Amino acid sequence: MRDMQKEVDNYISQFKEGYFSPLAMMARLTEELGELAREINHYYGEKPKKSTEEEKTIEEELGDVLFVAICLANSLDIDLQTAHDQVMTKFQTRDKDRWTKIEEEQQ
């Protein structure tokens, strides 16, 4: 994760404009999530893609979401590895018995 954050920072750092404001990036993240939702709806929902619409993939849209999320984290000096570790600890403690584990189901 840290390598990805560094790679994105190296890319953004070459431009005078640098990172957009957190509010602008939140708007961009929302836009990218909308594009991801649209692609998922085309593949798994009831709304087929129009023949005139550009072909995009869920993978591409997830990549866009990830890039903007990394930009937002970088601009706020948030280490995403630390954030990930914290959320995994939360799920492994608070929610450890919330779901049926596969091995429990087989008994």
pLDDT value at position 107?
58
3, 6, 32, 75, 102 from 15: Cα distances, Å: 20, 15, 22, 14, 49
pTM of the model: 0.85
Mean pLDDT in runs of 10 for the chain (107 residues)? 97 97 97 95 84 85 98 98 95 85 71
